[in-house]
A and B are shown apart, each in its own frame.
Chain A
């Protein structure tokens, strides 16, 4: 597992067209442990920023979706990769209600 901060900080708060603010490479991480890693990274981001999560477990898709529903963040996209079930999950950090 590794975290790769995005070098282009100008994207903070404007993630839709310019990609993730940070990348969490969680390949090899099992369920139950992945969620905590995501939570830690999301806390470091600004509202509206996107975290890219790279995972290679079949159950990651459902697990990430459930965790995102619980927390109120948004699963923007899932980009399937090779070898299956490797994928990239793009999660946008929620904006606090005013």
Chain B
């Protein structure tokens, strides 16, 4: 079984480059048919919400919305940290397609099962 590639995104509009790179790497993995997860934490959880990625565009990269959609279309999963979504008032009804709210145990389980992680 292929190794799961998990990248961590901690930023949103506060840092477009850090918001974009985890999806770039995740999308390369997904496009190569590797199981891929982008784990959103802290301000990064906003990226999982509808409309938020619109207009986020770091020069030199494709627009974030485009990369996120490509990542999901390639089979990538978006995990939004439940501890981070709760204080921001983000619930399942706010999420884009391909995103879900997860618990710390799910993240630990993925890592314990061999997921390779990379933070930005």
Chain A contacts to B: CB under 8 angstroms: 30, 32-33, 35-36, 38-40, 67, 70-71
Contact = CB atoms under 8 A, between A and B. Distances in A.
Given A33-B24, A67-B31, 4 more contacts: A32-B25, A35-B31, A70-B34, A71-B33
B28 to A, nearest CB: 4
Contacts of B61: 30, 32-33
B87 interface: no
B77 to A, nearest CB: 17
Interface in B60-85: 60-62, 70, 74
B33 A32 contact: no
Contacts, number: 33
Nearest to B60: A30
Contact of A39 (B21, B24, B25, B32): B32
Interface string B10-49: 0000000000010011011001111000000000000000
Nearest to A68: B32
Given A33-B62, A36-B70, A39-B74, A70 B24 contact: no
B43 to A, nearest CB: 22
Chain B's interface size range is: 10 to 19
A54 B74 CA distance: 23
A38 to B, nearest CB: 8
Contacts of A39: 31-32, 74
Contact of B27 (A30, A36, A70, A71): A36
12 contacts: A32-B61, A33-B24, A33-B62, A35-B28, A35-B32, A36-B27, A36-B28, A36-B70, A36-B74, A67-B31, A67-B32, A70-B33
Contact of A32 (B28, B32, B74): B28
User: Which of B31, B34, B62, B70 lies at the interface centre, i.e. has the most chain A CB atoms within 10 A of its CB?
Assistant: B31
A71 B24 CA distance: 17
Contacts of B25: 32
Contacts of B33: 70-71
A71 B33 CA distance: 7
